[in-house]
Amino acid sequence: CKKSFLELTPQGEFLESNYYANPAQALTALVAAYDPLVTETGGLDGTYTDPLGPLNSASDDCFAGGGGSSDVPDWQAINNYTMTPAVGPQAGFWAINFQGVNRADVLLEKLPNVPGLSEDVLKRYTAEAHFLRAHYYFDLVRLFENVPLILNTLQISEVYQQPQAKPEEVYAQVEADLTAAIPDLPVTVAASENGRVTQGAAKALLGKVYLYEKKWALAASTLEEVNGTPGGTSTYGYKLLNNFGDIFSPTNKFNSESIFEIVHTGMQNYTWSNWNQFKSNVYVQMVGPRSFTGPIYYAGGYGFNPITPNLVAAMKGDPRYPYTIANIDSLTKATGTSYDESYQGTGYYIEKYAPKVKNIVTTGLTDLNWPNDYIEIRLADTYLMEAEALVQAGTNTGRAGDLLNAVRARVGLAAETPTLDNIYKERRLELATEGHRWFDLVRTGQAPAALAFKGFQAGKNEILPIPLTETLNGTQIKQNPGY
């Protein structure tokens, strides 16, 4: 009889056993599955964890930069290819993506039993969960190659029993999840739902996955559905913007070129006590020049990811240069102002995500409330991916040329032959600092040569080390070769 006296229910906190009881709660679970897409700060290792920082630091587009050689050591380590299992950005990548996997697994397990959920909503949420799990696993397999494949939530007793799956098994699961998601996803969403997964986004991601798997024909045919007629408006309403610079403006979110956009907000008045909660874009703050006194840019940037001379040279004369590279050095000289050069500074900074005075939020702390979105998949990218797949497959080089030249024509460049080299070059210039370069170098085998100046070791640095804690304490996880 005393037992009930001891069985209490928590105040203001839901028990897992009672939750997922209505459609509103199902939506909160869906939101939680999206949440790891924007893990700006905190993460599971308590550090700054935006993915662009490490990816740009790893590539030949940027250096790590910052205030000094020990400023954000994880970025410095990947910049120098001195990662060890304990030091490097892998802890953030690993944990965030597995957290995403878990949230998607929770969703897939709970959704069928949520009372009152309409058939349509159930289908859509389920499809979104599949898309998100595929998205997280695609990042994991690209970054680590050897990861455990966890498709349902784990009991504590099962946690230590998880072996690493073969990469092809993971890819197969990613394909399966995306294939399952596509038919149930909406073609378009209401403005208030912008940023939620659409059919186009899922097809674009699937095409990209096929490309990474070198399944050229599948990649080309899937991406073609997304791209439609080169230069025109696709079935899903995608169309290249006329003005390249408009793509990245926070006043032009969800534009017609955006296929999968990672949404940020400037309206939440975040302060330093909200660490771990930021859905603003802290990366914008990170890449601003330090102690800057000139016009256009915010004065209090942190000076990360200065542009390499290598990229500056490659972009020389390209119409996209001013929208890609901020030449702070000459700007300050021209305006008689000043800034503090970053560690590894070159005088050149990222322009696409630069903290601009005009984007400063009206309320709250500027540093922590940048509203800029990150467009992870955009039409120019899927054009170039399809072009590459077509060339590799050798099937329709005509369309490959149309795709390549649509991207070039948009910025007023003359047409070129769709060779692999030309497509790779175009990808670099079109998509510079957008987080694709390092993956492109690795998957096309150019990394050892292109990244030699940073210490890249072939056969080792194509993937990241597995975080130290994951291989200890009785797990089944084996460290990646070379680490």
479 binds other proteins (CB under 8 A): no
248 binds other proteins (CB under 8 A): no
Rounded to whole angstroms, the Cα distance separating 325 from 349 reads 6
Closest contact distance (angstroms) between CB of 315 and other proteins is 32
DSSP code at position 472: S
Judged by CB under 8 A, the residue of 70, 112, 119, 192 near other proteins is 192
Contact region for other proteins (CB under 8 A) — 63-71, 121-129, 273-281, 432-440?
273-281
Size of the chain, expressed as the number of residues it contains:
483
Judged by CB under 8 A, the residue of 87, 121, 122, 154 near other proteins is 154
Which lies closer to other proteins via its Cβ, residue 44 or residue 413? 44
Residue 477: CA count within 13 A, CB half-sphere: 23
**Cβ–Cβ < 8 Å for 146, 480:** yes
Phi-psi sector, 474: left (phi>0), alpha (psi -120 to 50), beta: left
153 binds other proteins (CB under 8 A): yes
3 binds other proteins (CB under 8 A): yes
33 binds other proteins (CB under 8 A): yes
Which lies closer to other proteins via its Cβ, residue 118 or residue 192? 192
Residue-by-residue DSSP string for 21-76: -SHHHHHHHHHHHHGGGG--EETTTTEE--THHHHHHHSSSB--BSSSTTSSHHHH
- Beta bridge mates, 389: none
Max CA pair span of the chain: 84
Closest contact distance (angstroms) between CB of 65 and other proteins is 23
DSSP code at position 358: G
Q: Which of residues 121-150 bind other proteins (CB under 8 A)?
A: 147-148, 150
Judged by CB under 8 A, the residue of 47, 337, 475, 479 near other proteins is 475
155 binds other proteins (CB under 8 A): yes
Burial class (CB in 10 A: 0-12, 13-18, 19+), 275: middle
**Cβ–Cβ < 8 Å for 319, 366:** no
Which lies closer to other proteins via its Cβ, residue 39 or residue 342? 39
Residue-by-residue DSSP string for 277-336: ---S-HHHHHTSPBT--SSSB-TTB--BSPBPHHHHHHHTT-TTHHHHEEEHHHHHHHHT
Phi, psi torsion values for 297, nearest 5 degrees: -100, 155
Q: Which two tokens stand for residue 173?
A: 């699961």
Contact region for other proteins (CB under 8 A) — 28-36, 68-76, 301-309, 441-449?
28-36
Judged by CB under 8 A, the residue of 70, 118, 156, 421 near other proteins is 156
Judged by CB under 8 A, the residue of 65, 66, 266, 303 near other proteins is 266
Judged by CB under 8 A, the residue of 173, 198, 234, 268 near other proteins is 268
Q: Which two tokens stand for residue 324?
A: 């890609």
Q: Which of residues 432-471 bind other proteins (CB under 8 A)?
A: 467, 469-470
Give the Cα-Cα-Cα angle 397, 399, 403 (nearest 5 degrees). 115
314 binds other proteins (CB under 8 A): no
100 binds other proteins (CB under 8 A): yes
Closest contact distance (angstroms) between CB of 17 and other proteins is 7
Q: 459: Cβ–Cβ under 8 A, 6 or more apart, which residues?
A: 481, 482
Contact region for other proteins (CB under 8 A) — 72-80, 155-163, 307-315, 408-416?
155-163
**Cβ–Cβ < 8 Å for 208, 377:** yes
Neighbouring C-beta atoms of residue 442, cutoff 10 Å: 22
Closest contact distance (angstroms) between CB of 467 and other proteins is 7
277 binds other proteins (CB under 8 A): yes
Q: Which of residues 340-399 bind other proteins (CB under 8 A)?
A: 371
How many binding residues for other proteins (CB under 8 A)? 75
Per-position x/- string for 55-94, each x denoting binding to other proteins as judged by CB under 8 A, each - no binding: ------------------------------------x--x
106 binds other proteins (CB under 8 A): yes
Contact region for other proteins (CB under 8 A) — 14-22, 120-128, 174-182, 449-457?
14-22
Q: Which two tokens stand for residue 354?
A: 């630069």
Closest contact distance (angstroms) between CB of 251 and other proteins is 10
Contact region for other proteins (CB under 8 A) — 35-43, 75-83, 318-326, 441-449?
35-43
Question: What H or E segment, with its residue span, contains residue 377?
Answer: strand 374-378
288 binds other proteins (CB under 8 A): no
Judged by CB under 8 A, the residue of 84, 113, 160, 188 near other proteins is 160
13 binds other proteins (CB under 8 A): yes
Q: Which two tokens stand for residue 257?
A: 């070129």
Closest contact distance (angstroms) between CB of 451 and other proteins is 27
